[in-house]
Structure 1
Amino acid sequence: MTSAPRHAPVLEVVEYTDPLCPWSWGAEPVLRLLRTTLDGRVRWRRVFCVLFDEDDDPVPDPAAETAWYARYVEDVSAHTRAPRAPRLSRVAASSWPSSLVAAAAGLQGGTVADRVLRRLRETMFVRGEPADTTELALAAARGVPGLDEERLAADAASEAVRERVRADRAEARRPVSEVRSVEGGSPHPGAAKETPDGAYRYALPTLLLRTPGGAYRVVPGWRPYEAYAKAVRLLCPELTADPVTLPGDRALELHRSLTGPERELLTHGPWPPAGAVRVDTGNGPLWLHPEEAGTGPGDPRAAPTSL
């Protein structure tokens, strides 16, 4: 959930991410909880880092590269418990198409933006077919409630949105000094990554929280909820970050799909909701809202759960 603050925000949350990043996918439960908890009280802004760039050199052996990357995603999912596709068809050729579509979706409001970004993530980590072309990225968004699909396609192709993503990419490559060296204690502590030109970029995901007065805290890598709540308290003691969970049916209505870790972290009460569609992946189940089955990247052959 990402919505405009009801009053002037006391805090901006900047999320450095990429639609096709496995650690960002694994962080979805905690970041969804933080967005739900702070909804309407902060300005939440996503910055698309472009993990797979257009000018990356082609790999000499795509099959070997895909096998290596599939093992890497499997290792990440072992830590995060996030679903992974039983089979990855290829390494994404580029993050630009999915980043452009995600940025364009943001022009249609926070809820639509959240749902489109989630669909794009699921192409990679549920279906195993990354949305690395414009056609695939637009297809992934098809059927999202409230989405104007013609506008999405036009905006994604516009120079204004491409310039926005260019600016995002550049911003992600100007990390604050604190992330050049970070404490361990996490399988992905989030130290800044060196780029081929000798510069640095934020590891993904990284959250930068800052006040209008310029004070900030940075939370890099894969972290527990308390790390984000602590940063909120340090910057804005008056801004409570006690986790807000929802009944299972309301959570599924809002988010449209929930992983096992998300069900545990974001919901309370009976589970699964009536009509929820279970999709089995290579690392645990995913539950879809019944209207998502057959439209989103989840397996359209999945059957309703037994209640």
Structure 2
Amino acid sequence: MAKDENKFSDIQEAGSVEVVYYTDPLCCWSWALEPQWRKLRFMYRGKIKWQYRMGGLIPNWDSFNDPMNAISRPLQMGPLWMEAKYISGMPLQDKLWYEDPPASSFPACIAVKAAGLQSGVAAENYLRRVREAVMLHGQNIARWEVLQQVGEELSEENPEILDLDRFQEDLSGQEARHAFEEDLKQVRLHGLSRFPALTMRRAGEDKGVKIVGYRPYQALEEALHAIAPDLQPAPHTTDETEYRRYWHSATAREVEEALKQE
């Protein structure tokens, strides 16, 4: 994430379109969508605001079942991650599911909510870093020590974003768990069983649009314009350095998406 994180808080306060992003740190298709999702926020910075809701993808392997992809045990998740890597071009450590498979996505969801108790900026940063931990580095984010390490690294680099002592306290407290339970209620209310899923609406309006699953950038922009046809993007960037500086960290695929002319 960018060193100057005020741009995130500004977006979350001043946007004319509200986006709710239902996701999960262990969702490979959410990671696959990062290039398009980041590009949308970059192109419409200052004009949209968003919040994340954690989907609770894998409660545990005794209860998890994905009939669409024929997945009911950890080893079967590896091929799905390989598919997401192949289709999206985003790097993925699919060997995780053979070497040290996460037992649940709930701990990582709770950790994101614990960071979010401090600010939306903290939630944004922590979610990205915990995704990088599992997707890029193959770390088992079902382990509390890994989640604490992610918090320590974020706090060390950006102490103004995350207070480590408070994060560690909230990580084992009830408020973060209650916030996650509220997210799960919203997931059920909207009938969501796949992630990522995004709802978009004009601020103050009830009607909106919903997008479910991995989509190209054009689909996200078309959904945005369906509810806000007057919304104009910023000038298209051709500067890789500028884009990397904005996000602080970016994969080659994310940069490629940002620089691509539609």
Matched-pair contact (CA < 8 Å) for 1:36–1:244: no
Q: How does 1:200-279 map to 2 (within 5 A)?
A: 200-211=191-202, 212-241=204-233, 244-245=236-237, 247-267=239-259
Which residue does 1:35 correspond to in 2?
Answer: 41
Which residue does 1:277 correspond to in 2?
Answer: none
Which has the larger helix fraction?
2
Which residue does 1:174 correspond to in 2?
Answer: 189
Which residue does 1:149 correspond to in 2?
Answer: 164
Q: CA deviation at 1:236?
A: 1.4
Correspondence for 2:136 among 115, 123, 126:
126
Larger deviation, residues 212-221 vs 155-164:
155-164
Distance 1:155 1:243 in 2: 41
Matched-pair contact (CA < 8 Å) for 1:98–1:137: yes
Unmatched tracts of structure 2, length 5 or more: 1-6, 66-71
Which residue does 1:76 correspond to in 2?
Answer: 84
Larger deviation, residues 165-174 vs 50-59:
50-59
Q: CA deviation at 1:79?
A: 0.7
Matched-pair contact (CA < 8 Å) for 1:252–1:258: yes
SS in 1 for 2:51: strand
Report Cα offsets for 1:232-260 as digits up to 9, x if no partner: 11211222245754733343334232222
Q: CA deviation at 1:58?
A: 8.8
Q: CA deviation at 1:224?
A: 1.1
Unmatched tracts of structure 1, length 5 or more: 176-199, 269-307
Distance 1:246 1:81 in 2: 20
Matched-pair contact (CA < 8 Å) for 1:7–1:41: no
Correspondence for 1:136 among 132, 146, 169:
146
Distance 1:241 1:20 in 2: 31
Distance 2:14 2:246 in 1: 25
Matched-pair contact (CA < 8 Å) for 2:93–2:138: yes
Matched-pair contact (CA < 8 Å) for 2:61–2:73: no
Quick check: which has more Rg, 1 or 2?
Answer: 1
Report the TM-score, using the length of structure 2 for normalisation.
Answer: 0.81
Q: Which amino acid aligns with 2:130?
A: L
Report the TM-score, using the length of structure 1 for normalisation.
Answer: 0.70
Distance of aligned partners of 1:6 and 1:99 in 2 relative to their CA distance in 1, 3 Å threshold: closer
Q: CA deviation at 1:216?
A: 0.3
Distance 2:215 2:235 in 1: 15
Distance 2:237 2:25 in 1: 24
Matched-pair identity in %: 28
Computed over aligned residues only, the root mean square deviation of the Cα atoms, in angstroms, reads 2.6
SS in 1 for 2:53: strand
Distance 1:56 1:250 in 2: 46
Bigger relative CO (Cα 8 Å, ≥ 6 apart): 2
Q: Which amino acid aligns with 2:95?
A: R
Which has the larger strand fraction?
1
